[in-house]
Amino acid sequence: MEPLVNAKDLELFWVQPSAMKRNFILRSGERIFGSLAFRSAFGSLADAISGNDSWTFKRVGFFSTRVTIRRAGSDIDIAIYQPRWTGSEGRLLISGGHSYLWRVANFWATRYTFSDSQGNELVTYRSGSDEQKLSNLLKQQARVEIALQAWQLPELDLLVILGWYLVVLQQEDASAVAATASIAVLN
């Protein structure tokens, strides 16, 4: 796996190799820059790797949820993502003081962003894949765009992978709500 800094002038995509597994890779062509793997089919605990860094992400809580971010093998939170009550936006607080705003950036929820405190978009995720194949319709995939000023951030790798984790959770939550609503209508 290559360090993310090597992808500065490349098109990046989060791809799901198999629709049956909650595993994802961040790639440009055949080059791999990161990975996200959920430990179970239904849980929120996931392992994330980018370059030489690795973390675990986990959504905790019921009515007041949050996502904890820890270095792999540690029990200490290095960051916490706290969603607002709508679920379509929230704030990432990194130990040491930095914070970033996460939000769904359009009505159809096909674009998501991390922004700095001034509102400048740093990392953007747009639905779509690098290959036009019928099998991709069943997979969660997105193009990743990194703003020029974001390449200077020490936590860029974390933002890129955590953002994808949040996209996956939001899409799965939306699917669960839709399935529940359709079952209620049929009954």
State yes or no: pLDDT of 138 exceeds 70: no
User: What confidence category does residue 36 fall into, taking pLDDT thresholds of 50, 70 and 90?
Assistant: very high
> Could you identify the residue written with the tokens 């699917």?
175
Backbone angles phi, psi at 151, to 5 degrees: -65, -15
- 37, 46 contact by CB (below 8 A): yes
Total-model pTM: 0.84
CA distance linking residue 58 with residue 52, whole number of Å: 20
What pLDDT, on the 0 to 100 scale, is given for residue 180?
52
- 104, 119 contact by CB (below 8 A): no
Domain extents in the chain: 4-180
CATH 3.40.50 fits 4-180, yes or no: no
